[in-house]
Amino acid sequence: MRTSNINKKRSLLTILLIIFILSPKNYFAQNSISFNSNNGRNKISISNNKNDFKIEYEGEITLNEIDSDIVDISRGGYIEIKKSSFGKKRKIIIEKEGNKLIRKYYVGWSEKDYYPEGKQWLSDVLPEILRSTIIGAESRVDRFYKKGGANDVLDEIKKMESDYVQSAYFKLLLKKPLSSKEVTNTLKTVGKVISSDHYLANILRKNQELFLKNSSSIDAYISAAKTVGSDHYLTQILKSIISNKEINDTQLASLLTISENINSDHYLSEVLGNIMDERKLNENNMEQVMKLSKNIGSDHYKTNTLKKALRNKNLSKQAYNSFMNSLNDINSDHYASEVIKELVKNKLDNESFNNVLEIITRNISSSHYAATIYKGIAKNKDLNETQLINLLNAVESIESSHELSQVLIAFAPKVKNASSKVKEAYTKTAKSINSETYFGRAMKAIY
């Protein structure tokens, strides 16, 4: 019984293997295509598990209206098509001599009559060749477009497998006088059929003037860009958008959403830094940049981005809130203190100043880094009475008696000339110092 079950399993596996091999969509049946061009001579190799094509041509190839025959080649040009299929070899050579095409057909090593067998064989293989190469691409795009506009060209592009060939056809189509609807449909197709990030990014970067004319095409552009998987190519697209001065603030706001798909902290910080360096951002776009900075996981890259934002000095209330949310995510005492030291150089109202104190108290666990920030504030910033009292209350969280006494001593000159309320706040915090020596030094500083 056990032997019978084993035999049944083997039979089932054999059947499944046969189905897989015969399936037209299995891995081995997919076309492998290589291109080489030198001094106008083009060589193409197309192979799968059944057929091998080798094509060599020079000059412009013209096809008939139904893509079943080659009707002309530019002067001095030629085309040679070889096919090997299950050991059987065939070849066609068509050359332009004067005003005539000379046609030759071979089976194996023997030349055969071109008509009718050679003509029929060319008709049979041309569809696969034309959809796997750029032979006759310009005349084919012209013909399809003349017949049915962009939709007919797009229908033909969808039948192609090679990103290289599809990209070439898209470039030819985009030279046509497309309507707004055709541009949008083309963009949608580009995003769906081009799997290569290289070719997709190239199309999106080099046709922005055409693609970004209205909200519909902008939406399609964003959708297409978001199919790019490589952070490198996505960054290239965004940097070209940023440097394009024809793109207005409203368009930029929409296009910045593409940045949400960048996973690399390095590339995202590069894009956001590039925006702040090259564009004069309005309040809405600056707020969006700050929201995007929250997606940066690296404390190092986030710090660089936030410090650059502070140097721009154009943070609206909303952008500032987004800035603070992003700052709040920095885990490193070192990097958080770097941003805070830059932040407190700006003029802050009482609410903003209190937010900074909260972040220092909550996020900076190192007494050294906290003390460094506070001493920097004492040295470089004029504080009103409310801010000074709130700061003196906040510094009580410093655990090191030495560091706490140093902070209080740094603020002593401001406290000396302040009201009794400020002195009371100073004294209350000083009493939290465990060392009598450090406590004495702190109190002596204000008398």
Tens of pLDDT along 161-176?
889 999 999 999 999 9
Count other Cβ atoms within 10 Å, centred on residue 120.
Answer: 13
**Same domain for 104 and 53:** yes
Per-residue confidence (pLDDT) for residue 68, from 0 to 100: 93
Confidence of residue 26 (pLDDT cuts 50, 70, 90): very low
Confidence of residue 31 (pLDDT cuts 50, 70, 90): low
Instruction: Report which of 357, 363, 350, 354 is spatially closest to residue 407, judged by C-alpha positions.
Output: 357
pLDDT, tens digit, for every residue of 43-102?
988 886 667 889 999 999 999 999 999 999 999 899 999 998 777 899 999 999 988 999
CB crowding 361-378: b at 16 or more within 10 Å, else e: bebbebbebbbbbbbbbb
Residue 196 belongs to a domain:
yes
Do 37 and 124 reside in the same domain of the chain? yes
Show the tokens assigned to 369.
């880094």
- Report the alpha-carbon distance of residue 85 to residue 106 in Å, rounded: 14
**Same domain as 303, residue 239:** yes
Considering the domain architecture, whether residues 126 and 141 belong to the same structural domain is answered as no
Q: Is there a single domain that holds both residue 188 and residue 279?
A: no
* Side-chain half-sphere CA neighbours of 289 within 13 A: 31
Q: What is the CA radius of gyration of the chain?
A: 35
Tracing tokens 């057929």 back to the chain, one arrives at 51
Q: Do 210 and 263 sit in the same domain of this protein? A: no
**Whole-number Å distance between alpha carbons of 399 and 401:** 6
The two tokens of residue 356 are 């900074």
Asked if 119 and 158 sit in the same domain, the reply is no
- Angle at alpha carbon of residue 313, lines to 311 and 314, rounded to 5°: 135
Question: So what's the pLDDT on residue 46?
Answer: 83
Name the pLDDT band for 140 (thresholds 50, 70, 90): very high
Overall number of domains in the chain: 5
388 falls within a domain: yes
Q: Two tokens at 156?
A: 């033909």
**CB neighbours (10 Å) of residue 345?**
13
Q: Are residues 8 and 21 in the same domain?
A: yes
Nearest by Cα to 312 from 267, 284, 281: 281
Q: Which amino acid is at 98?
A: G
Name the token pair of 101: 């095409």
Min mean pLDDT across 13-22, 85-94, 357-366, 415-424 is at: 13-22
Asked if 166 and 263 sit in the same domain, the reply is no
Q: What is the rounded average pLDDT of the residues 102-125? A: 94
Q: What is the pLDDT of residues 193-218, one digit of tens each?
A: 999 999 999 999 999 999 998 999 99
Within 13 Å of residue 328, how many CA atoms lie on the same side as its CB? 14
Rounded to an integer, what distance in angstroms lies between the CA atom of residue 231 and that of residue 344?
Answer: 34
- Assess whether pLDDT exceeds 80 at residue 25: no
pLDDT-based confidence at residue 347 (cuts at 50, 70, 90): confident
The answer to the question of residue 336 being in a domain is no
Of 300, 236, 233, 327, the residue nearest 274 (C-alpha): 236
Residue 303 lies in a domain: yes
Measured at the CA of 190, the angle between CA 189 and CA 195, to 5 degrees, comes to 115
pLDDT of residue 85: 79
**Average pLDDT score over residue span 314-342:** 92
- Copy the structure tokens of residue 76: 């001095």
Determine, yes or no, domain membership for 374.
yes
Boundary residue ending a domain (196, 228, 260): 228
* Domain-located, residue 234: yes
Are 174 and 263 in a shared domain?
A: no
Tens digits of per-residue pLDDT, 240-287? 999 998 899 999 999 999 999 999 999 999 999 999 999 999 999 999
Residue 338 inside a domain? The answer is no
Residue 23's pLDDT is what?
A: 43
Letter for the amino acid at 389? I
Q: Are residues 161 and 127 in the same domain?
A: no
Of 330, 357, 391, the one marking the end of a domain is: 330
Inter-residue long-range contacts of 370-374, CB under 8 Å, 24+ positions, other chains counted: 370/333, 370/337, 370/395, 370/397, 370/398, 370/403, 371/398, 371/400, 371/403, 371/404, 371/406, 371/407, 372/337, 372/341, 373/337, 373/340, 373/341, 373/344, 374/398, 374/407, 374/410, 374/411
Please report whether residue 335 resides in a domain: no
Instruction: Give the residue numbers spanning the domain of 364.
Output: 343-447
Same domain assignment for residues 353 and 438: yes
Which of 194 and 380 is assigned the larger pLDDT? 194
Smallest Cα–Cα separation from 360: which of 345, 341, 385, 347?
341
Q: Give the mean model confidence (pLDDT) for residues 289-304.
A: 96
With a cut of 80, say whether residue 328 has pLDDT above it: yes
How far apart, in Å, are the Cα atoms of 97 and each of 75, 81, 235, 429? Answer: 7, 18, 50, 100
Taking a C-beta distance cutoff of 8 angstroms, is the pair 169, 157 a contact? Answer: yes
Final residue belonging to a domain, choices 108, 133, 158: 133
pLDDT score, position 10: 52
